[in-house]
Chain A
Amino acid sequence: MRTRTHVRPERSAVELARREDVAEGQNPVAPKQSPEPGRRAHTRDRLGRFGLFAAPGLLVYLALVLVPIAIATGYSLTDKNPFHPPTRWVGLDNFAGLASDGEFFTALRNTVVVTVIVTVVTNAGGLAIALLLDRRGWLYNALRSVFFVPVVLSAVVVSVIWQAILVDDGLLNSLLKQLGMDHPPGWLSDPSLALYTVSWVIAWQGLGFCVVIYLAGLQGIPQELHEAAEIDGCGPLMRFRHVTWPMLAPAVTINTVMSLIGGFKAYDQVQVLTNGGPGPGTTSTLAFQVIQTAFMGNHIGYASAMAVVMLVVVAAVSVVALRLLQQREVSS
Chain B
Amino acid sequence: MTTAPKARLRPLAASLAGLLFFLPIYIVLVNVLKNGSSIVSNPVGLPFPPTLDNIDNVLSRPDHLFWYGLVNSTEVTVISILVVTVISAMLGHYLARSTGTLAKVAMVVLLCGLMVPPAVILTPITEVLRAVGLMSTVPGLILAYVGYYMPFGVFVFAGFVKTIPRELEEAAALDGAGAFRTFWQVVFPLMRPASASVLIFLGVWIWNDFLNPLIILGPAAGTTVTVGIYRAIGEHQADFGSVFALMFLATLPILIFYLAFQKQFVKGLTGGATKG
Q: Which of A147, A251, A291, A308 has a CB less than 8 Å from the CB of B122?
A: A291
Contact with B along A250-285 (1 / 0, CB 8 A): 110110000001001101100110000000000000
- Interface of B, helix, strand, loop or mixed by DSSP: helix
Contact count band on B: 35 or more
Q: Given known contacts A132-B17, A146-B18, A160-B229, is B121 in contact with A69 (CB within 8 Å)?
A: yes
Q: Given known contacts A161-B24, A265-B119, A291-B215, is B270 in contact with A60 (CB within 8 Å)?
A: no
Contact B210–A156 (Cβ < 8 Å): yes
B14, CB-defined interface residue at 8 Å = yes
Contact with A along B174-210 (1 / 0, CB 8 A): 0000011001000000000000000000001001111
Contact A304–B113 (Cβ < 8 Å): no
Residues on B with beta carbons closer than 8 Å to the beta carbon of A135: 10
How many residue-residue contacts, CB under 8 A, span A and B? 242
Residues on B with beta carbons closer than 8 Å to the beta carbon of A142: 18
Contact B94–A54 (Cβ < 8 Å): yes
Contact with B along A20-40 (1 / 0, CB 8 A): 000000000000000000000
B25, CB-defined interface residue at 8 Å = yes
Contact with A along B239-264 (1 / 0, CB 8 A): 01001100100110011001000100
Q: Given known contacts A53-B94, A291-B215, is B270 in contact with A265 (CB within 8 Å)?
A: no
Contact B147–A64 (Cβ < 8 Å): yes
Contact A329–B276 (Cβ < 8 Å): yes
Residues on A with beta carbons closer than 8 Å to the beta carbon of B128: 63-64, 67-68, 71
The residue on A at minimum CB distance from B109 is A66
Interface size on A, residues (CB 8 A): 91
A225, CB-defined interface residue at 8 Å = no
Contact with A along B90-130 (1 / 0, CB 8 A): 11011100010001001001101111111111111101100
CA distance A267 to B211 in the complex (A): 8
Contact B14–A143 (Cβ < 8 Å): yes
CA distance A149 to B21 in the complex (A): 10
Q: Which of B10, B103, B150, B269 has a CB less than 8 Å from the CB of A132?
A: B10
B242 smallest CB distance to A (angstroms): 12
B42 smallest CB distance to A (angstroms): 11
A287, CB-defined interface residue at 8 Å = yes
Q: Given known contacts A69-B121, A147-B18, is B183 in contact with A154 (CB within 8 Å)?
A: no
CA distance A161 to B43 in the complex (A): 12
Contact with A along B1-40 (1 / 0, CB 8 A): 0000000001101110110011011011000000000000
Contact A152–B229 (Cβ < 8 Å): no
A213, CB-defined interface residue at 8 Å = yes
CA distance A135 to B14 in the complex (A): 11
CA distance A37 to B143 in the complex (A): 40
Q: Could you pull out 15 A-B pairs where Cβ atoms are within 8 angstroms?
A: A49-B179, A57-B88, A57-B154, A65-B121, A75-B124, A132-B10, A154-B251, A161-B25, A213-B274, A220-B274, A286-B119, A291-B119, A291-B122, A295-B215, A310-B117
User: Which residues from chain A sit less than 8 Å from chain B, CB to CB?
Assistant: 10, 12, 45, 48-50, 52-54, 56-58, 60-61, 63-69, 71-72, 75, 129, 132-133, 135, 139-140, 142-143, 145-150, 152-157, 160-165, 171, 174, 204, 207, 209, 212-213, 215-217, 220, 249-251, 253-254, 261, 264-265, 267-268, 271-272, 286-288, 290-291, 294-295, 300, 303-304, 307-308, 310-311, 314-315, 318, 329
